[in-house]
Amino acid sequence: VSEVATMMDVPVTNIISACMSLGMMVTMNQRLDAETLSIVAEEFNYTVEFVGAEVEEAIAEVEDNPEDLETRAPIITVMGHVDHGKTSLLDYIREANVIAGESGGITQHIGAYSVEVEGGQRIAFLDTPGHEAFTAMRARGAQVTDLVIIVIAADDDVMPQTKEAISHAQAAGVPIIFAINKVDKPNANPDKIKEQLANMNLLVEDWGGSIQSQDISAKTGQGVDELLEKVLLEAEVLELKANPTKNAVGTVVEALLDKGRGYVSTILVQAGTLRIGDYLLAGKHSGKVRAMFDERGNNLKEAGPSTPVSILGLDGAPQAGDKFNVFDDEREAKQIATKRSQLQREQSVRTQKTLTLDEIGRRIALGDFKELNIILKGDVDGSVEALTDSFQKLSTEEIQVNILHKGVGAITESDVLLASASDAIIVGFNVRPQGNARTVADKEEVDIRTYSIIYDAINDLKDAMEGLLSPEM
Ligand code: GDP
């Protein structure tokens, strides 16, 4: 939003109200889709030309032959209020449904896993619970989830985050299944939850509605098999199909730099089949797939539709939500990756220059405006995106939260210098300052805060912002 405002040299608020008249509430840091951009630009007598579109045309998807399509496993995201049992449910399902023939290695969190339920049917789960990751992926145009399980604790109520999760699923047009959890607890009252849902016009099946729900205990496992059966039933209705015979395409779930193994990326194959030796293009990175494994560390030779795999061989860490494609020619994959990096560099030069201009305009327009600048570094892209999303949501009328820079990796001297130059604080998630960064930060009096729990980071920032608020008159 702010970028297009500076490109057209109009105040950000004009763009925001133009979007509002289209029925969209946006913030200045929000991404607009191509269609909205075009409509908004037209209002100000500009025409939008999408540079880089020709690069993407090279990988445009060919329509599948109907007889090549086969049923594929559903891909599930689990959402719900904090402490209602998302992680417990994901862990329980993973442990209780090891795919036949798999050795029981130590499970690693790789961001996604798949299980085989009774009857041999497979279900894939995105193992990053919460709607932050879901929304961040969607903001990047990645629609990977077929079904959402919303966990609600039966000893609690439908909570704010439950409602948020419901809105996110509905906005994405993804069907919901409710898992009413913790029914093993003596004070559990699943009917109360169903009543609260009914009051929100969400009628579950027991209440004569069409939304599936299942009482479960993620602790004892009660009802979990039935929940998975309902997932499969709902999936059947969706008639999920993919062509397994072509080159693989899909989405990046998360990526990190492992000291011993190099860049490790978890990707979800959505169609086609990925094989060792394939030339892969993922976002701005490319490489030959050297090895593939699942969350138990088992080596895989190939991965078909709806299979999450970790791969080695990319020359960098792509971002969560980046699409990936396979090329027959290594050079072509590399060329497109280079072209994309170039385009992004040009774009960021443009934004930086314009951001300062924008800044001046905004300060004048808003008079008493205050802002909190943040440089955000994290160990994996998923958490960086999730934090970006949550931080930006903290913006109020008085204080604007700006993420000046974000990335995967340790906090470097250059991060500190950027922070010092722009009055920013640095937030590190599961990463620490490296090399000279700490010394320089002390000298420049730059505030570095490191966290390993997302909620702690968000709460601290909230507190800091309250401290920044001007006293009420
Ligand atoms: P999340 O924040 O939604 O991921 O919630 P967690 O999975 O971390 O669960 C929060 C707390 O509730 C943990 O202490 C769990 O052990 C507990 N818990 C989760 N599911 C159940 C359940 O079915 N029964 C009981 N008694 N406790 C549960």
Helix (H) or strand (E) holding 146: none
ipTM above 0.90, yes or no: yes
The set of residues, in sequence order, having a beta carbon less than 8 Å from that of 342 and lying 6+ positions away, is none
Ligand 1 pocket check for 94: Cβ under 6 Å: no
Does residue 178 sit in helix, strand or coil? strand
**In whole angstroms, how far apart are CA 100 and each of 121, 145, 229?**
11, 24, 18
Cα-to-centroid distance, 153 and ligand 1 (Å): 8
- Tell me the pTM: 0.68
Q: Is 456 annotated as a binding residue?
A: no
Q: Which atom of ligand 1 is nearest to the CA of 218?
A: 23
- Location of structure tokens 């209705």: 237
Contacts of 392 (CB under 8 A, 6+ apart): 27, 29, 401, 403
Kindly report the protein residue whose alpha carbon is nearest to atom 17 of ligand 1. Answer: 85
> What's at 160, amino acid-wise?
P
Would you say 80 is a known binding-site residue? Answer: yes
| Dihedral sign computed on CA atoms, order 365, 367, 368, 371 | positive
Show the DSSP H helices in 313-394 as ranges. 330-366, 381-393
Euclidean distance between CA atoms 376 and 419, whole angstroms: 10
Q: Does the beta carbon of 153 sit less than 6 angstroms from any atom of ligand 1?
A: no
pLDDT of amino acid 137? 72
Token pair belonging to 296: 């138990």
pLDDT of residue 183: 98
Question: Looking at 61-175, which runs of residues are DSSP E strands?
Answer: 70-71, 75-80, 112-116, 122-126, 147-153
The answer to whether 83 is annotated as binding is yes
Q: Count the neighbouring beta carbons within 10 Å of the beta carbon of residue 315.
A: 14
Ligand 1 centre to CA of 244 (Å) is: 37
Query: Coil, strand or helix: which one is 171?
Result: helix
Residue to mutate, 83, 148, 187, ligand 1, most ligand atoms under 8 Å from C-beta: 83
Q: Can you tell me the distance from the alpha carbon of 175 to that of 146, in angstroms, rounded to the nearest whole number?
A: 7
> How far is residue 240's CA from residue 143's CA, in Å, rounded to a whole number?
14
Task: Give the pLDDT of the chain (473 residues) as one tens digit per residue.
Answer: 888 888 888 888 889 889 888 888 887 777 888 888 999 999 999 988 876 666 666 666 778 889 999 999 999 999 999 899 999 999 999 888 765 555 556 677 788 999 988 788 999 999 876 666 676 676 666 788 999 999 999 999 999 788 878 877 887 789 999 999 999 999 999 999 999 999 998 999 989 999 999 999 999 999 999 999 999 999 999 999 999 999 999 999 988 888 888 899 999 999 999 999 999 999 999 999 999 998 888 899 999 999 999 999 999 999 888 899 999 988 988 988 988 888 777 665 544 433 333 443 344 344 444 677 888 999 988 889 889 989 988 887 767 888 878 888 899 887 887 777 667 889 999 999 998 889 888 877 788 889 998 888 888 888 766 655 443 33
Is the CB of 78 within 6 Å of ligand 1? no
Q: Is 127 annotated as a binding residue?
A: yes
Non-local CB neighbours of 356 within 8 Å, separated by 6+ positions: none
Contacts of 348 (CB under 8 A, 6+ apart): none
Helix (H) or strand (E) holding 320, with range, is none
Q: Is the CB of 275 under 6 A from ligand 1?
A: no
Whole-number pLDDT of residue 140: 64
Specify the residue with its C-alpha closest to ligand 1, atom 25: 182
Nearest Cα to Cα of residue 61 among 323, 386, 239: 323
